[in-house]
A and B are shown apart, each in its own frame.
Chain A
Amino acid sequence: MTAGLRVEALGKEFVPGRPVLQDVDVSVAPGEFVCVVGASGSGKSTLLCLIAGLSRPSTGRVLLDGHEVLGPGPDRGLVFQTASLFPWRDVARNVAFGLEALGVPRAARQERVRWLLDEVGLAHLAGALPGRLSGGQQQRVSIARALACAPRVLLLDEPFGALDVQTKEDMQLFIRQVWQDVPSAADGAATGPARRSTVVMVTHDVEEAVFLGQRVLVLSSDPGRISQDIAIDLPEPRSLEVKRTPEFLKIKAAVEDLVRAEHRAHQARLSP
């Protein structure tokens, strides 16, 4: 049994003969933070949906710790671009939803929810309805809700895409912090980084991908394939200052060129 997330020869077509994804192979080690960038229409979100088990692959398979993914489950938390909170449940009960489904007893549930809300800085809003929260706060709640079940993998689909620039930067630091602080349900023997959740985050913002990811995967379009797998060797833990260093700017420019080239090729194929 191999630990971690494995995507093997994954393909998906919604219309026969027009694959959105084809032969996607990725391995993500336990506790790794990986970002996927790609032009729009490259099948980034489809890839996440397949890993989450919300749709079934046309070819290939997804393995988590050696077990094939056959459907959605609490071992893979998913966060969408627009926070899809339960509007009739207050913040604490939103976070508790997955724990209720797991049958965690009330006292343990409340304790975990309180700890998580503290961790995401929303303890003072535990009783508030989602409609009262700002976009950034709503996204913090969705992340806390996904983390409540201590998932092995946290899947983020453009989670900060709808936020303003300042909030977005706050949230980037926040997700890094959460990744370091909130352990996943790995076996008790694992320590340090191996106890962290694996994070796979899809974004179209190259700067965000380079800043957050330990690895950046560039997805090409028509059909979607991993065209580049770039290790990001920047000092850990990442702070905002790193965004101004020459190394950061150099990597960012290189990835941007790759994405731009994919985008141009995609446009050319659309209008021959």
Chain B
Amino acid sequence: MTHLRGFAQRWVVFVGVLVVWQLLTMASASKFFPTPVSIVESAGKLWLGGPASQFWLHDNVFVHILPSIGRLLTGWLGAAVVGIALGIALGRSKHGVDYFGPLFAFLRSIPPVLLLPFFMVIFGIESPQKIALIAFGALWPILLNSVDGARSVDAVKTDTARSFRIPRGQWIFMVVLPAALPKIFAGLRVSLSLSLVLMVISELVGAATGMGTQLVDAQRQYEYTDMWAIILLLGVLGYALNSLLLVLERRVLSWQPTRNAQPSTVKAGG
């Protein structure tokens, strides 16, 4: 019963907004604001109706959506690997951050989008350029959070580990990394939404495939229902990816007492 109420609580505003949107757009004759129902119809035409061998998905899915998701995940995972490894190393070194701090602060302040022209010159206009841009933007939140996390190992744990003479590998993987994980996950979540934005932007200019490309094409051809369908799909994609990451985080950090004490905060996020 409380479960049902929680579910209703979480979705009532969302559904309400959809209904209001439908009513408003029905009342208006503007071509720029199609009704949600017509948007969903467009989405069906855009992405469904393929042959059974393609799981009834339209070619569009394979030409635009999957490559986009592939770039996003490749860039984000690359940033995660580099960011966590480098962040832990710097966080545990005595003077690492003293040396690299100003450089990182500067690089992080550059809006990654501004580097698009530069990455185009270096990597061309295909996937490598987009992956590089996503990875560059996603790196900083992960890196800086990893540094913070690695530094959060308290003195008693350091002493305990030293008094047991544990080897380096065990120190890093069983003490430093677990202690840093809550912060690392915070960084990963910020980076994931950033990656989605950078993915779309990198595909808006000079690209042959991708959801961003499909979006500008639809807009240029005055296919406003298609354009809205893509925007909505991007929203759904962001929501789904974030939810998946939260599920992973909940599993990995299940040892944290606060997580079990207040499950509602986790639910609200997912």
Physical interaction between A and B? no
Task: Report A's interface with B, CB cutoff 8 A.
Answer: none
Task: Report B's interface with A, CB cutoff 8 A.
Answer: none
